[in-house]
Chains A and B, each alone.
Chain A
Amino acid sequence: DVKVTQSSRYLVKRTGEKVFLECVQDMDHENMFWYRQDPGLGLRLIYFSYDVKMKEKGDIPEGYSVSREKKERFSLILESASTNQTSMYLCASRLGQLDQPQHFGDGTRLSIL
């Protein structure tokens, strides 16, 4: 069974802080994704990665960056956190192409004060 683990379930940070959200998958998937989930907006893609050290911008990359130094780990970085980045963040991984399902972590609820 695929396991996608996000390091924190809840996180509270202050405006201007640099914030790291970590995600690890245990199934050797090439593709990994970061989404944010907001009520009524569904999931919006921030960044994805299709291989180590490779990344692509999603729909809403502004204010975020990512790092993928190892295949199993995909980190989301908020360079200078702002209150409008308060949200639920979901990490996902996928094997192969689009006909395969994405496997999600349980999410990190991030509050920026």
Chain B
Amino acid sequence: AQSVTQLDSQVPVFEEAPVELRCNYSSSVSVYLFWYVQYPNQGLQLLLKYLSGSTLVESINGFEAEFNKSQTSFHLRKPSVHISDTAEYFCAVSENNAGNMLTFGGGTRLMVKP
């Protein structure tokens, strides 16, 4: 069965500093990987996804994530964060033969300070 671990529940960082949000998953088959973002008082929005092909995927607002099959990781990075990036970030995984199931990690709260 698939599972997702987000190692950090909270990540405080100063504005314009780089950040990495860690995500590890367990699965014995090929997977799809997703990062969702939840701004305060809102639902989740898709940030980026890995389906196949290039292991580095990017979002339109400067985030990127790299799929590492050997380490079963999909860490999210941004070289320079803004105050507006303050939100909760969820990593999610689905196995290609898992029907409709998407499994979420526990979430990481990114707190960007001025």
Contact = CB atoms under 8 A, between A and B. Distances in A.
B55 interface: no
A2 to B, nearest CB: 11
B65 to A, nearest CB: 15
B90 to A, nearest CB: 6
A98 B43 contact: no
Contacts of B46: 101-102
Instruction: Say which size band chain A's interface belongs to.
Output: 20 to 34
Contacts of B100: 31, 33, 48, 50, 56, 98
Interface in A32-88: 33, 35, 40-45, 48, 50, 56, 58
A3 to B, nearest CB: 11
B43 A42 contact: no
A41 B43 contact: no
Interface of A: 4, 31, 33, 35, 40-45, 48, 50, 56, 58, 90, 92, 98-99, 101-102, 104-107
Instruction: Say which size band chain B's interface belongs to.
Output: 20 to 34
A102 B34 CA distance: 10
Given A42-B107, A43-B90, A102 B42 contact: no
Contacts of B90: 42-43
24 contacts: A31-B100, A33-B100, A35-B104, A40-B9, A41-B106, A42-B6, A42-B104, A42-B107, A43-B44, A43-B90, A56-B99, A92-B43, A92-B44, A98-B96, A98-B98, A98-B100, A98-B102, A99-B51, A104-B44, A104-B45, A106-B41, A106-B42, A106-B43, A107-B42
Nearest to B100: A48
